[in-house]
Amino acid sequence: MLRQLIANNTVTDLAYAVLAAAAFILLLHTARRLVLHRLERVAEKTETVIDDFLVEVLSATRVLLVGAIGLYLGSHFLTLPAALEKWVGRIFVIVMVLQLGFWASRGLIFWLRNHFSQGEEEDQGARAMTLSLLSFFGRVVIWVLVLLSMLDNLGINVTTLVASLGIGGIAIALAAQNILGDLFASLTIAIDKPFVIGDFIILGAEMGTVEHVGLKTTRLRSLSGEQIIMSNNDLLQSRIHNYKRMAERRALFAIGVTYDTPAEKLELIPKLIEQAVTAQADARFDRAHFRGFGAFSLDFETVYYVRKPDYNLFMDVQQAINLQLVRSFAEHAIEFAFPTQTLHLNHSAIPGLIATAETRKPVIESVG
């Protein structure tokens, strides 16, 4: 074929073809740079997305495309054998399809980034996770279509290939159903968003902050510091407690006072608790009641809400309430109860001792 090419063309024809190819490559490359530079300057001055989109897509133009177009145009100055001319056309189409794939992939990523960049700051984890997964699946679809187009251009029967791949795909799907289950589970997580990166979740005995959502696994960082890796499919089959989605955090605590506390002070205690809770800017008081009679204390139960779900804030609020109650109870001479045990001795049953009314009172009190 090479001999045929040389035989059908003179040295002048070959020189013209080389010069034409080089001129076209230089011209196209210069035009690409000028247009890209012009679009970048326009994009800096405008707030529209279209010019930014064009800049992003055009920047994905490969030098391979410029060279292929230059060589293809230069080949028209030659008399090519029929077989070679056919292959030159096919290679040119393949290069163009590849370049379309680069443009489509870059354009898809730009659109997804622009779409998911809008929203509240607290949704940043959800947007990052969805962007990562949808970008992957979108690029897979684009490059599968590019591959099928290239094979069709090479004369391969794509319909028969797809049918044969479908039969083999069933067998592969049966063998790799766990992997495919995790793959589709990751897509479900991206679309439904039961949790996002940065959320604190509990699944059965496991708990931690979501660090990464991949195609097969999700990684949590536990409270003790180690990383927990869970299958996406198993994860979606569990009951998920997402603590970051709480609008408020409900808090319940109980305190006990001694049995010798007067009734008027018992009536005062719920008011003191309410004052301690309402003094906190991030707390909302719900109720405080004299709940009942404990084994060694008169018990009070309190419920309030922390206006933010942050656990550290909840502990700060609870600590401030506890300190305020200690001060308030001290001012009103109210004593907190603590576990005690009283033993009554029957002195009449002990030889050498005389049982009197005074000796039947509690004589031993131990702290449990």
> How would you classify the pairing of strands 283-293 and 240-242?
unpaired
Domains of the chain and CATH, by start: 2-118 (no CATH), 178-245 (2.30.30.60), 249-336 (3.30.70.100), 338-368 (no CATH)
Closest by Cα among 297, 296, 300, 246 to 277: 300
Contact indicator for 321, 280 with CB cutoff of 8 Å: yes
Closest by Cα among 73, 41, 72, 35 to 57: 35
Residue-level pLDDT, tens digit, the chain, 368 residues: 555 555 556 667 667 777 777 777 787 778 878 887 787 787 777 777 777 778 788 788 777 777 777 777 777 666 666 666 777 777 778 888 888 888 888 888 888 777 766 655 555 655 666 677 777 778 888 888 888 888 877 777 767 666 655 555 555 555 455 666 777 787 778 777 788 888 888 888 888 988 888 878 888 998 888 999 888 888 888 888 888 777 888 999 999 999 999 999 999 999 999 999 999 999 999 999 999 999 889 999 999 999 988 888 999 999 999 999 999 999 999 999 988 766 766 666 555 554 444 433 333 333 33
Q: pTM to 2 decimals?
A: 0.47
Give me the sign of the Cα torsion angle 16, 22, 26, 29: positive
